[in-house]
Amino acid sequence: MSGLEIERKFLVKGDGYKRQAYSSSRIQQGYICSGHGRTVRVRIRDARGYITIKGPARNGGFGHYEFEKEITLTEAEELMRLCEPGIIDKTRYLVKSGQHTFEVDEFYGENEGLVMAEVELGSEDEPYEKPDFIGKEVTGDKRYNNSHLKDCPFSVWGKNEA
């Protein structure tokens, strides 16, 4: 997969998303490099590996270029050893809402207590139905980027945010 990714991010209220989810998976991800809005990420999702390259955010944080390729689990495990400190650990729940799917991430470890949802859109002004668990929008707030959470976890700054 590659191309422009347009997404909106939100904080999540309550745990109703778990009852509405049609799928869930455990994700661990690390960053080989991150800086200046660019990242090279390694992810293990259940028993599959991925490498992803993301470009800097555009248009107030709504979109960025993303390239992702599936790699073997062994390759992903080896690449995880090369990652910067601060592995992200979370469960992702998929929730259908109208014509869209919201990805809801429940974080663990130093980011415990943070639950975020994002929805991918075809354009910045594409309409979408918000599920009832959607809270404050945090699109464009760099504190909520996974690459930032690895360096400055939610437990350090987020006590009044959720």
Q: Give the residue numbers marked as catalytic.
A: 31
Q: Which of 30, 145, 6, 154 is nearest to 84 (CA)?
A: 30
CB burial string 139-160: b at 16+ within 10 A, e below: beeeebbbbebbeebbeeebee
Spacing of C-alpha 156 from chain mean position: 19
- Determine how β-strand 115-121 pairs with β-strand 2-12: antiparallel
Instruction: Please report which helix (H) or strand (E) contains residue 11, including its range.
Output: strand 2-12
| Distinct helix (H) and strand (E) counts, the chain | 4, 9
